[in-house]
């Protein structure tokens, strides 16, 4: 099974076809929570839509251009963290971008901070990328806190780049470079991986 332990009973695991029903159920009960920030949620109407998402992600994984990981607490799927558009170090750009969402009832425990930390280790230490971005709506303070906590810099604002219903919204670009992550990761692990809310046996996640 491709994935990694996050400590405290949490782990990341590649989403596979047989997770479609569970993923749809999680998405379905989080619609109101996700809609303001992730307008794709209304396009997910059935298990078949979740399956199509997983199959697309498995294709990205096979091509080395991205992946989608389920965040599991014990046997329960509680969120998703994914990577799109991985450019390999031999490409001109060597960058990518991370997206994520968590079940409303599991917020506020540092779960996503921890999951993104493990993904950053994979992208920088294993895949040797040079730069990673997170794009966030300016009003999404909970989400902005994650790159800010992890040492990303806010580099700018993309005007009307995201579709929200009938309108368009701005996104902020946060980014971190490989050398910045080398410096930030020890501080992050020291500061956040001791968090008691995540679990007493918290241990750093190994690269995926």
Ligand X SMILES: CC(C)(COP(=O)(O)OP(=O)(O)OC[C@H]1O[C@@H](n2cnc3c(N)ncnc32)[C@H](O)[C@@H]1OP(=O)(O)O)[C@@H](O)C(=O)NCCC(=O)NCCS
- Footprint of ligand X (CB under 6 A): 33-34, 37-38, 100-102, 107-113, 136, 140, 142-143, 146, 192, 195, 197-198
Residue environment code for 50-80, b if the CB has 16+ CB neighbours within 10 A, otherwise e: bbebbeebbebbeeeebbbbbbbbeeebbbb
Tell the smallest beta-carbon distance from residue 28 to ligand X (Å).
Answer: 15
- Judged by beta carbon, residue 12 or residue 112, the one nearer ligand X is 112
Shortest distance, position 62 Cβ to ligand X, whole Å: 25
Measured CA distances, 110 to 38, 46, 107, 141 (Å) = 20, 30, 7, 14
Least distance from C-beta 89 to ligand X, angstroms?
Answer: 26
Provide the minimum distance between the beta carbon of 90 and ligand X in the complex, in angstroms, as a whole number: 29
CB of 167 to ligand X, least distance (A): 17
Would you say 54 or 172 has its CB closer to ligand X? 172
Tell me whether residue 92 or residue 152 sits nearer to ligand X (CB atom): 152
For ligand X, the closer CB: 92 or 96 = 96
Beta carbons within 10 angstroms of residue 15's beta carbon: 25
CA distance 154 to 147: 9
Q: State how far the Cα of 71 lies from the Cα of 78, in Å rounded to an integer.
A: 6
Strand order in the sheet with 153-164: 3-7, 10-14, 67-73, 76-84, 95-102, 131-136, 167-177, 153-164
By beta carbon distance, the residue nearest ligand X is 195
Nearer to ligand X, 67 or 110 (CB): 110
């Amino acid at each position: 099974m491709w994935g990694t332990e996050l400590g405290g009973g949490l782990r990341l695991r590649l989403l596979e076809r047989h997770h479609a029903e569970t993923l749809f159920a999680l998405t379905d009960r989080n619609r109101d929570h996700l809609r303001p920030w992730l307008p794709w949620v209304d396009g997910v109407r059935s298990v078949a839509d979740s399956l199509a998402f997983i199959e697309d992600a498995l294709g990205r994984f096979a091509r080395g251009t991205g992946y989608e990981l389920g965040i599991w607490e014990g046997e329960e799927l509680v969120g998703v963290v994914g990577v799109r558009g991985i450019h390999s170090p031999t490409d001109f750009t060597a960058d990518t971008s991370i997206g994520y969402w968590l079940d409303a009832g599991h917020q506020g425990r540092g779960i996503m901070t921890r999951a993104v930390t493990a993904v950053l280790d994979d992208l920088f230490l294993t895949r040797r990328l040079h730069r990673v971005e997170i794009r966030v709506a300016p009003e999404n303070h909970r989400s902005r806190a994650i790159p800010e906590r992890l040492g990303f810099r806010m580099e700018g604002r993309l005007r009307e780049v995201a579709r929200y219903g009938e309108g368009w919204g701005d996104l902020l670009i946060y980014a971190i470079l490989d050398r910045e992550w080398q410096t930030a990761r020890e501080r992050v692990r020291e500061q956040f991986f001791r968090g008691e809310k995540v679990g007493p046996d918290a241990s750093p996640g190994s690269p995926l």
